[in-house]
Chains A and B, each alone.
Chain A
Amino acid sequence: MASESVAQISNNLLYCAMAVYAVAMYCYAAELAFGSRLRRGEPALVTANGAGDTSYDEPAAPVEEREDRTGKAERLGRIAVSLTALAFGLHLASVIARGISAGRPPWGNMFEFSVTGSLAVTGVYLVLLARRDVRYLGIFVMLPVLLTLGLAVTVLYTESTQLVPALKSVWLVIHVTAAMIASGILTIGFAQTICYLVQERRERTPAEQRSPSFMDRLPSAAVLDRSAYRMHAFAFPIWTFAVIAGAIWAENAWGRYWGWDPKETWAFITWMVYACYLHARATAGWRGRKAAYVALLGYSTFLFNYLVVNIWLVGFHSYAGVN
């Protein structure tokens, strides 16, 4: 088959994936909207006082909640998860087809990085979902994935072609894959941090005075904070590895391992801000909201690196392929 037609198949699969993602997003939204007021993911009561180690995300569900789980909201939630898995399959097939049509790893320009990067976001979500009940995150994952894909197919679209010589290296696989996986995990952490900030604000009002909201379906602020921390703590070494791999590649391609090229500078800034976040969580007076704001800042520096530096700042990393 000609590579053009495989590229066309890849594009069609991507549109299908986007449609399924959109339906999944509505199902997640409906689940949150129609669900009962009971919270999910409350810590099990066996290990009270918070000092020890509690299995926060796999609670022994109270009786009422178990009843709710057979209700309409539960059915919607399950449909949403199935649709997410289906969309992920289509998305993955699209990425593979793109790779086949170009005859190389499909992340050589910004369009491809966006498509494969958002695949990583869904992938991380599904892996997490297999281990814990994080369905509440569904809508907050579908939204950025759809936005990224929308941006990719409209603004960033680039035809499937060969690589420029600078990208022909095994480090393209190592460095960019690590960066994409890290950004997928950071995106989930970002979503959880936002949820945490909203929930924390909500929890300042005594429970009986709160007006009903879909936020009641989300875990408590403490649980969200802890889950977000885990995501960031997991992503940070991967990001570190991506930066080191990039430095090794730079040494091999440009004769210096670090040259303060804008992309490098912003990778460093992102690394530093997340390092601040990890430290802030252990510093009195910074725990909680302040640390969460640092995490949000970290994600925004990552977004800046992805969108602004790629397109507007001149540097060695100008591979966006966007005209």
Chain B
Amino acid sequence: MVDSDVVHTAMSTAPGEVEPPSGPGALGPRGMGRWAWRQLTSMRTALLLLLLLTVAAVPGSLVPQSAVDPVRVAEFTAQHPTLSPWYERLSLFNVFAAPWFAAIYLLLFLSLAGCVLPRSRAHWAASRARPPAAPRYLERLPVHEGWTVDVSPREVLDAARLALRRRRFRVDVGSDGSVAAEKGYLRETGNLLFHAALLFLLVAVAVGNLFGFQGSVLVAEGGSFSNTVSAYDTVRQGAAFRSGSLVPFTLTLDDLSVRYEQKGVQRGAPRDFKAAVSFTASPDASPKGGELRVNHPLVIDGTKIFLLGNGYAPVFTVRDGTGEVVFSGPVPFLPRDGNNTSVGVVKVPGAKPKQLGFQGLFLPTAVLDPQRGPISVFPDDALPRAVITAWVGDLGLDSGAAQSVYRLDTTGMTQVMNSGRPLAQSLARGATMTLPDGAGSITFDGVRRWTSLKVSHDPGKQWALLSASAALIGLMLSLFVRRRRVWVRATAGDDGRTLVRVAGLARAEGEGLADEVAEIATALRAKED
């Protein structure tokens, strides 16, 4: 029996655990393997691996992560040109998928498995074995009571057996005039369940990563998309993911309504986003209407669609030098601040004689600040203005290199000037900016909202939840169930009376054993009197 300080959350306080030999020297390959296995599954190693994993997670929160925020990674790389390659080499932009991170948690889980298995076997055996027999001298145990009665020892022991059974003890009647009882096996069961559930959680996460799919897409009001891998702007898919498993729905964003706080210090803080959508669950299904809100995803045939961000897509019409309409439609701009000051570009590769590009600033509620120039003072579109500058030349789209739709590559272009200064105009709804020398014009027709939608498919998530819940239940059992043993011994005295002793022993730190023994003793006495 261990001293009261031992906590049975410990995995490798397993019964029968042998102290590892001092070193691997002269053990031979087999002995060496066993030595290494014992080292790995020892509590001390598990503890160090736990600490190591904790420390390893820290850079993941301090260095921008490409899986969480690729834009910030790009910014960081631009700001730290010498440091970034090293970060890249050490996987610091991708800590949670880094080989060294995986090495730590795989070792930890291996160590854990190496503990759970032998301990499960031992616990299985222990829970089928009889409770340990009563020690000879119960009065030497820390918690004990004794008294004498007039009934025979056998009657006392029968009563004790029943009383202990009623208290849900496992009871064994010894041949030497004693009763042994034990209770609280659920503590170790919970402990094993907790650790095994963590192993399953890891498997569930791995299944989600292997077979899962996440796609996000930006849709302007009136726009639509179908649930195919190519329709998404950004996609994360597992190695074993099959595109055929995507639900073949098509979704149209009919309307996005946004409400902002109108007064007080929180003026401009978002209060409500609501997207009205219509969708067809499969190509031959009839269209249905639906609503999407933050925290209220839309579910189509088991696929969840989430509302993430939102912004403005100003609608422009561009005419080229020949007077032909070469572009017309909404262009999503990216919000830059809390008042939705948004930036974006319009690329018109079809313009003649030269390609046209426009850089724009969209201000939903525009004010001309004497110092800072045109700014937005409220996120809603109360007084929308588009501030436009124009470029002429080669957009660089033919080179084949990937280009951001939010950025203009101006290397092959020249900025359109007006009397020595860049041409810039703030356009109200319906206004047109005409480029000099008959190069064309751009009209700001109005504005629509866009929303970014995320579609997520994770076949491991139910299993992850199940494992986590099992882990929690196991954890509570292992921390709150107390394992304790109670013995009753009845001996016939010389005077014909029977000496009864009750004693208890708790395995883990806890309280109430003395009370429990006292209660059992009281119950027995009540019976015998």
Q: Chain A interface (Cβ within 8 Å of chain B)?
A: 46-56, 158-159, 161-162, 164-166, 168-169, 171, 226, 229, 233-234, 236-237, 240-241, 244, 247-249, 251-262, 265-266, 268-269, 272-273, 275-276, 278-287, 309, 313-315, 321
Select B7's contact among A229, A244, A262, A273, beta carbons within 8 Å: A229
Q: Could you say which residues of chain B place their CB within 8 Å of the CB of A247?
A: 465, 468
Contact call B5/A255, Cβ cutoff below 8 A: no
A160 to chain B, nearest CB (A): 9
**CB pair B468 A244 closer than 8 Å:** yes
B9 contacts across to A, CB distance below 8 A: 278-279, 282
Report if B290 contacts A (CB, 8 A): no
> Which of B155-163, B350-358, B406-414, B509-517 forms part of the interface with chain A?
B509-517
Across the interface, do A257 and B60 meet the contact criterion of CB distance under 8 Å? no
Q: Which of A165, A241, A257, A279 contacts B464 (CB 8 A)?
A: A257
Given contacts A247-B468, A281-B7, A283-B10, are A165 and B61 in contact (CB under 8 A)? Answer: no
Complex interface: chain A residues within 8 A of B448 (CB): none
Given known contacts A49-B142, A240-B471, A256 and B456 CB-to-CB distance under 8 angstroms: yes
Q: Once the chains bind, are B297 and A255 in contact (CB under 8 Å)?
A: yes
Tell which of A158, A159, A236, A265 touches B475, judged by Cβ atoms closer than 8 Å: A236
Contact A166 B295 (CB under 8 A): yes
Given contact pairs A53-B510, A276-B50, enumerate 18 new A-B contacts (beta carbons under 8 Å): A56-B511, A158-B265, A159-B266, A161-B269, A165-B273, A166-B294, A169-B295, A236-B475, A240-B472, A255-B455, A260-B67, A260-B95, A268-B57, A279-B50, A282-B6, A282-B8, A283-B47, A286-B47
A321 to B10, CA, bound (A): 42
B304 proximal to A (CB < 8 A): yes
Most buried by A among B8, B293, B468: B468
**Chain A to chain B contacts (Cβ below 8 Å), 27 pairs:** A47-B142, A48-B142, A50-B4, A53-B506, A53-B512, A54-B142, A55-B514, A168-B294, A168-B295, A229-B7, A233-B7, A233-B479, A237-B475, A252-B297, A255-B454, A260-B61, A262-B61, A265-B57, A269-B54, A273-B51, A276-B54, A278-B9, A282-B9, A282-B10, A282-B13, A283-B43, A313-B61
Most central of A229, A233, A237 by chain B CB within 10 Å: A237
B479, A237: Cβ atoms closer than 8 Å? yes
Q: Which residues of A contact B475 (CB under 8 A)?
A: 236-237, 240
CB pair A165 B50 closer than 8 Å: no
Query: Given the complex, which residues of A lie within 8 Å of B271, measured CB to CB?
Result: 162, 164-165
For the complex, give the distance between the alpha carbons of A275 and B96 in Å. 20
Q: Give the distance to chain A from B169, nearest Cβ to Cβ, in Å.
A: 16
Are B266 and A52 closer than 8 Å at their CB atoms?
A: no
Q: Which residues of A contact B47 (CB under 8 A)?
A: 276, 279-280, 283, 286
